[in-house]
């Protein structure tokens, strides 16, 4: 039997950590769908160049495989920006739909996190969560994460990056970032990660008898 948990929200809201913890708690598989867009963005930066020619990017997006998601060069700020640029191209989104729906349909349950899981990819998900936080809190977390990984950056730059991606993700015409009407909202601005995970597990528990 499949059981789908859809977790959406803006950049660096804590979706990844919450999703991994929910998946581990219930024994579900986890797909970070942002990685799909990051793979396309990364390969596009390498092969197509910063101008991101649309036709070439669309062709690349049809070739994303599970193995690509394990690349260790997907978490940089440059790749995040490239990902959000390729993610506005409708054909790129379409090319990635099947991969995500197949993952969601696997037996044993799945958690998918992203921007449009509860609205477009899995509108019939068993549980939908929308994990969010203020832009400043999200930028602080992302800044810490990048600094810990040795990336040379400053808080103001990261905040600008987060805001630019928020605007691009929310304003695009196809599958914009938005909470599904039946999503449970978890604002992690003033929550510890432990409390955010507990809230998410409780929400899933109430539906997963
Ligand atoms: O980790 P973070 O929240 O910063 O970003 P991500 O989830 O890895 O996503 C990177 C970019 O991919 C986002 O800014 C979106 O533009 C795009 N994305 C999307 O459009 N739809 C998804 N389901 C997931 C990511």
Domains and CATH numbers, the chain: 4-205 (3.40.50.300)
Q: Got the DSSP string for 139-170? A: HHHHHHHHHHTT----HHHHHHHHHHHHHHHH
Residue with tokens 């024994």: 27
Q: What is the pLDDT of residue 51?
A: 83
**Ligand 1 centroid vs 119 CA: distance in angstroms?**
15
The structure's pTM equals: 0.94
Question: Which protein residues are within 6 Å of ligand 1, measured from CB?
Answer: 11-12, 16, 33-34, 37-38, 80, 83-84, 87, 114-116, 165, 169
Q: What is the pLDDT of residue 208?
A: 86
Predicted confidence band of residue 189 (pLDDT cuts 50, 70, 90): very high
**Ligand 1 centroid vs 6 CA: distance in angstroms?**
14
**Ligand 1 centroid vs 209 CA: distance in angstroms?**
31
CA distance 162 to 156: 10
**Ligand 1 centroid vs 11 CA: distance in angstroms?**
7
pLDDT tens-place string over residues 78-114? 999 999 999 999 999 999 999 999 999 999 999 999 9
> By alpha-carbon position, which residue is closest to atom 18 of ligand 1?
34
Q: Got the DSSP string for 27-57? A: T-EEEETHHHHHHHHHHHHHHT-TT--HHHH
């Amino acid at each position: 039997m499949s059981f789908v948990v859809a977790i959406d929200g803006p950049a660096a809201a804590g979706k990844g950590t919450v999703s991994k913890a929910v998946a581990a708690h219930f024994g579900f598989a986890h797909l970070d769908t942002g990685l799909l867009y990051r793979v396309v963005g990364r390969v596009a930066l390498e092969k197509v160049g910063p101008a991101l020619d649309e036709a070439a990017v669309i062709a690349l997006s049809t070739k994303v495989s599970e193995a690509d998601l394990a690349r260790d060069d997907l978490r940089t700020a440059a790749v995040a920006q490239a990902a959000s640029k390729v993610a506005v191209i409708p054909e790129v989104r379409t090319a990635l739909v099947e991969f995500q729906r197949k993952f969601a349909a696997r037996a044993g349950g799945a958690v998918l996190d992203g921007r449009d899981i509860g609205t477009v990819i899995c509108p019939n998900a068993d549980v939908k969560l929308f994990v969010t936080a203020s832009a400043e809190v999200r930028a602080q977390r992302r800044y810490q994460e990048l600094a810990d990984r040795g990336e040379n950056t400053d808080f103001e730059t990261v905040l600008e990056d987060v805001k630019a991606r928020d605007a691009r993700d929310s304003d695009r015409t196809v599958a914009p970032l938005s909470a599904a009407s039946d999503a449970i909202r978890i604002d992690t601005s003033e929550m510890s990660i432990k409390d955010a995970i507990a809230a998410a597990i409780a929400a899933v528990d109430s539906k997963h008898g």
